[in-house]
Amino acid sequence: MRYYSLNRQSPDVDFREATIRGQAPDKGLYFPERVPKLAASFFEQMGQMSKEEVAYEIMQPYIGNTIDTGTLKKIVAETINFPFPLVPVNEQIDSLELFHGPTLAFKDVGARFMSRCLGYFSRNQDKKTTVLVATSGDTGGAVANGFLGVDGVEVIILYPSGKVSQVQELQLTTCGQNITALEVKGSFDDCQAMVKDAFMDADLQQYLQLTSANSINVARWLPQQLYYFFALQQWTDKENFPVISVPSGNFGNICAGLLARYSGLPIPTFIAACNVNDTISAFLTTGIHTPKETISTVSNAMDVGNPSNLIRIIELFKIAGVPVKNILQSVTVTDAETIDCISSVYDKYGYLLDPHGAVAYHALEKCTGPDQKGIMLETAHPVKFPDTVKKAIGKEPQVPDVIQPLFQLQKQAINISPSFSVLKEWLLSR
């Protein structure tokens, strides 16, 4: 499998080089030269296959011969060694719970897969690989956990000061070892812009072997397809497949779902469930993507005014020859609606949503009729957002045992201003 830059001004590369580079030299995102189509027999047998078997079959064509079979099977097994339960909320809506990994967030899958791939690729290199990543919330903790202690790799995480929850911040600032956190006095878009500029800087490229662990990196982005296959493994009504509602910020997750659909997964429609940072809504109406200033919300991991992966969605639909609006809808959900949704779902069904899951739930409820069933993605554990949950239901969520030790740790972060020149100076002076 080869990967081309969406700016089409750089040479094609294999999976190994796309992973190590993160972004093409021409500033474009990498995209696979073809989307593997799965045989009908695969879907007939999927219900009897293990998660590991499904995951290997999905990922192997994208990796090609850059990782041997035995190693890839081991990487896949370690990536998904926790549950992905499909939990009924009511008669119409199921929740695909993606928060049962080590940092209680859906991004554990991509971070674990990428860390193991990069560790494999770095094993015979003299030069250390530096992973530079921006986070709006859960990416930082997942990347820190996934890469902690990986030989030959150092991780530098940029996060917006005061715009992530306490648990999220502790997860990304308390690891030590090969993990460093930079607290940026700005927005996530500032952090993301600084990271992108770093990849394009000639001085840094000469001094460091840089890559990114955001969903711009194919090794972070592509494994997110697995959620959707695991959902349909558990779906019992094979005559009526569900609409899927995805909390959407940087659009890596929903783009991976659309990729899975193009491979043959029988999902009729996707809903991009957005908070008020909803550039996708205007795009679906006008066909023009217009970035806007980021607005802080209670669903902070989705506070992205210029989503990187929208360009991949556009490319995918161009290849498919299908109008985007035929398959993808968008719904904007306010903070007030988010909090009300957490409250009402908890009162009616006893199910506790986190703010991002609440955005997805509200969007799904708004878009589906009485006969349509759907799945919403619950992407993070409610414990990461105690203030919002308490505002909605009058009490904070119960803290899982796995989180308790975090509160005994001391945050370690370096404060910097939202300026690429400041970041560059810091990187070169270490």
Q: Which two tokens stand for residue 174?
A: 């308390």
Q: Which two tokens stand for residue 128?
A: 């250390």
Question: To which residue do tokens 């041997």 refer?
Answer: 68
- Does the pLDDT value for residue 69 go beyond 90? yes
pLDDT class for 27, splitting at 50, 70, 90? confident
- Does the pLDDT value for residue 126 go beyond 80? no
Looking at residue 81, its pLDDT comes to 96
Question: In this predicted model, which residue has the larger pLDDT, 308 or 55?
Answer: 55
Q: Which two tokens stand for residue 245?
A: 């509602």
Looking at residue 191, its pLDDT comes to 93
Looking at residue 401, its pLDDT comes to 86
Looking at residue 383, its pLDDT comes to 92
Using only C-alpha atoms, what is the Rg of the chain? 20
- Does the pLDDT value for residue 369 go beyond 80? no
Domain boundaries in the chain?
Answer: 83-105+221-393
pLDDT class for 424, splitting at 50, 70, 90? very high
Looking at residue 13, its pLDDT comes to 98
Phi, psi of 412 (to 5 degrees): -130, 105
pLDDT class for 261, splitting at 50, 70, 90? very high
Mean pLDDT, residues 143-157: 91
For residue 31, the cross-strand partners are 4
Looking at residue 150, its pLDDT comes to 87
Mean pLDDT, residues 185-202: 89
- Does the pLDDT value for residue 18 go beyond 90? yes
Contact, 266 vs 232, CB < 8 A? yes
DSSP-assigned states of every residue in 272-289: EEE-S--HHHHHHHHS--
Looking at residue 403, its pLDDT comes to 85
Question: To which residue do tokens 């558990």 refer?
Answer: 234
d(CA 414, CA 397): 30
d(CA 375, CA 4): 33
- Does the pLDDT value for residue 366 go beyond 80? yes
Mean pLDDT, residues 366-390: 91
Average pLDDT, the chain: 93
pLDDT class for 130, splitting at 50, 70, 90? very high
Looking at residue 238, its pLDDT comes to 84
pLDDT class for 324, splitting at 50, 70, 90? confident
The predicted-structure confidence for 202-225, as pLDDT tens digits, reads as follows 899 888 988 888 788 999 999 999
The predicted-structure confidence for 93-107, as pLDDT tens digits, reads as follows 999 999 999 999 999
Q: How many CB atoms lie within 10 A of CB 301?
A: 30
104 burial (CB, 10 Å; 0-12 / 13-18 / 19+) is buried
Q: What's the angle, vertex CA 356, arms to CA 188 and CA 312, rounded to 5?
A: 60
For residue 134, the cross-strand partners are 158
**Domain 83-105+221-393, what fold?**
Rossmann fold (3.40.50)
Looking at residue 218, its pLDDT comes to 96
For the whole prediction, is pTM greater than 0.85? yes
Mean pLDDT, residues 55-79: 97
The predicted-structure confidence for 288-313, as pLDDT tens digits, reads as follows 888 888 898 999 889 888 898 999 99
Distances in Å between the alpha carbon of 394 and those of 123, 299, 343, 387, 389? 50, 18, 9, 10, 8
Looking at residue 95, its pLDDT comes to 98
